[in-house]
Amino acid sequence: MPKSILIDTTVCTGCRGCQVACKQWHNLPAEKTKNMGSYQNPQDLSFNTYKLVRMNEQIINGRLEWLFFADQCRHYLDAPCLETAFDKNAIYRDDATGAVQYTKQTKKLDADEITGSCPYNIPRQAPDGTLAKCDMCNDRIHNGLQPACVAACPTGAMQFGDRDEILELAGKRLAKARKKFPKARLLNPEE
Ligand code: SF4
Ligand code: SF4
């Protein structure tokens, strides 16, 4: 049974705990950033940032609203990058978890072709030519742990589990969210 991650944006506070936990678990360095006039930091995903809380400040009905989204790889069941690569030594799916994995062999792929195939602009190229992205913390999952981002989330916005359980939970969360936000909808990358 493939695993899935649910991100419930209605209870995300933009704390960035998930972003930091991902860096910590993967031993990734901080980005050099500067203030660009908003709370967005860093500005985008990179080969050193697999998980990024996107922060949008918008005026809605005359009120300033902060809209947060904890962005990362969607681990598609039919992953376009995997289908484009045609090289299982470079990009493969772990059938036990459903996690799409990138290896050092991605260096041999056409980086523009792979990044261009991703509808969410997730994979990023490192200076050594390899491609990098969220690996769903596949090593943690195989050791009975949740992905680091999910384990760090203090509000329950991020949830992890078997795909059918997560889809059921998503349906319940959506029904609850629609009482307050009638236009709320489920963005399932498989639909
Ligand atoms: Fe990062 Fe792991 Fe979460 Fe992916 S699943 S965003 S690799 S912490
Ligand atoms: Fe949102 Fe949870 Fe990430 Fe904090 S840890 S930014 S609440 S998803």
100: tokens are: 């799409």
Which residue has a Cα nearest atom 4 of ligand 2?
A: 15
Average pLDDT over residues 150-163: 98
- C-alpha torsion sign, points 167, 171, 177, 182: positive
Q: Where does residue 147 rank: exposed (0-12), middle (13-18), buried (19+ CB within 10 A)?
A: buried
- Answer yes or no: is pLDDT of 191 > 60: no
**Statement: residue 80 has pLDDT above 60:** yes
Question: From CA 105, how far away is CA 88, in angstroms rounded?
Answer: 9
Tell me, what's the pLDDT at 118? 97
32-52 residue pLDDT tens:
999 998 899 999 999 999 999
For ligand 2, the distance from its centroid to the CA atom of residue 80, given in whole angstroms, is: 27
Question: How far, in Å, from the CA of 103 to the mean position of ligand 1?
Answer: 16
DSSP-derived letter for residue 31 is P
DSSP run (H or E) holding 179: helix 163-180
Taking the C-alpha atoms of residue 177 and residue 1, their distance in angstroms, rounded to an integer, is: 27
Ligand 1 proximity of 147 Cβ (cutoff 6 Å): yes
Question: Per-residue pLDDT averaged across 169-190, rounded?
Answer: 90
User: Average pLDDT in the 155-181 region?
Assistant: 96
**pLDDT over 80 at 91, yes or no:** yes
Query: Which residues 6+ apart lie within 8 Å of 40 measured at CB?
Result: 54, 55
CB atoms under 10 Å from CB of 48, counted, come to 15
Name the more confident of 36 and 136: 136
The two beta strands, 3-7 and 63-71, are unpaired
pLDDT mean across residues, the chain:
95
The count of other CB atoms within 10 Å of the CB of residue 154 is 10
- Cβ atoms of 94 and 138 within 8 Å: the answer is yes
* 188 confidence band (pLDDT: 50, 70, 90): confident
> Two tokens at 40?
């967005």
**Residue partners of 50: CB distance under 8 A and separation at least 6:** 22, 26, 28, 72, 73, 132, 133, 134, 135
- Separation CA 104–CA 89 (nearest Å): 9
Q: Is 102 a pocket residue for ligand 1 (Cβ < 6 Å)?
A: no
> How far, in Å, is the centroid of ligand 2 from the Cα of 135?
18
177 SS3 class:
helix
Whether the per-residue pLDDT at 166 is higher than 70: the answer is yes
Confidence tier at 1 by pLDDT (50, 70, 90): confident
123 CB under 6 A from ligand 1? no
Distance 19 CA to ligand 2 centre (A): 8
